């Protein structure tokens, strides 16, 4: 297992002393340094303490030597699959597009361009961002813990209009949704 404490700490702009002070109970910068370099064993207790101090999930602190990061190695062109001149890292959905949270909708029944078994990753944004979402698929909360999903076709004041993906379905109008989640990535198993 490879320890990624140093990478995460540096990415967050923290010093060894910052992480040590954020641990509960506090520890020393030297202890954090030893845990980072592997000169001290990273136990589950230490993983949980450091993960809390870094505000990440504990499993993010380690990765397997045998599990390389996903890479983009080819692209499909009109001439067929062709190699990239230089392979590059594939960006996971959780790293796309900023700080707004991601939500995922599972597709149980195919409709429009979506097939049963698909997962649709959506970025949850405030309703003020609706003008940027026109003609994009969005998920919106409705009263009573329900949701509406469809192409955002209209926004007038606090009202938004969604056109569901199924054929022959009527437009859904929602008044003052607390948030909208715009589709960013479709994950489809083959």
**Domains in the chain with CATH codes:** 2-63 (1.10.260.40), 94-187 (2.10.109.10)
Q: Round the average pLDDT of the chain to a whole number and report it.
A: 86
pLDDT digits (tens, 9 = 90+) for 79-116: 888 888 888 766 566 654 567 888 899 999 888 889 99
Closest CA to 187 of 93, 94, 77: 93
Share of the chain above pLDDT 90, in %: 46
pLDDT digits (tens, 9 = 90+) for 103-154: 899 999 888 889 999 999 999 999 999 998 999 999 999 988 899 999 999 8
pTM comes to: 0.58
- Mean pLDDT computed over 48-70: 79
Rounded Cα distance between 146 and 62, Å, is: 38
Rounded Cα distance between 116 and 10, Å, is: 41
**Residues 6 or more apart whose Cβ sits within 8 Å of residue 5:** 19, 32, 35, 36, 42, 50, 54, 61
Closest CA to 107 of 126, 123, 124, 122: 122
């Amino acid at each position: 297992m490879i320890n990624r404490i140093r990478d995460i700490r540096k990415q967050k702009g923290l010093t060894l002393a910052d992480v040590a002070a954020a641990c509960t109970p506090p520890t020393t910068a030297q202890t954090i340094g030893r845990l980072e370099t592997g000169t001290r064993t990273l136990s589950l207790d230490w993983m949980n303490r450091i993960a809390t101090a870094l505000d990440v999930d504990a499993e993010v602190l380690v990765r397997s030597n045998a599990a390389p990061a996903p890479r983009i190695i080819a692209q499909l062109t009109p001439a067929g699959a062709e190699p990239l001149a230089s392979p590059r890292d594939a960006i996971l959905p959780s790293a796309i597009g900023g700080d707004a949270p991601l939500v995922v909708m599972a597709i149980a029944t195919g409709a429009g361009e979506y097939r049963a078994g698909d997962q649709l990753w959506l970025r949850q944004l405030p309703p003020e961002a609706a003008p940027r979402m026109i003609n994009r698929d969005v998920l919106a909360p409705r009263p009573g813990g329900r949701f509406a999903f469809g192409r955002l076709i209209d926004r007038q004041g606090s009202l938004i209009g969604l056109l569901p993906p199924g054929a022959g379905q009527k437009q859904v109008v929602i008044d003052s949704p607390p948030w909208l989640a715009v589709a960013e990535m479709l994950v489809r198993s083959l």
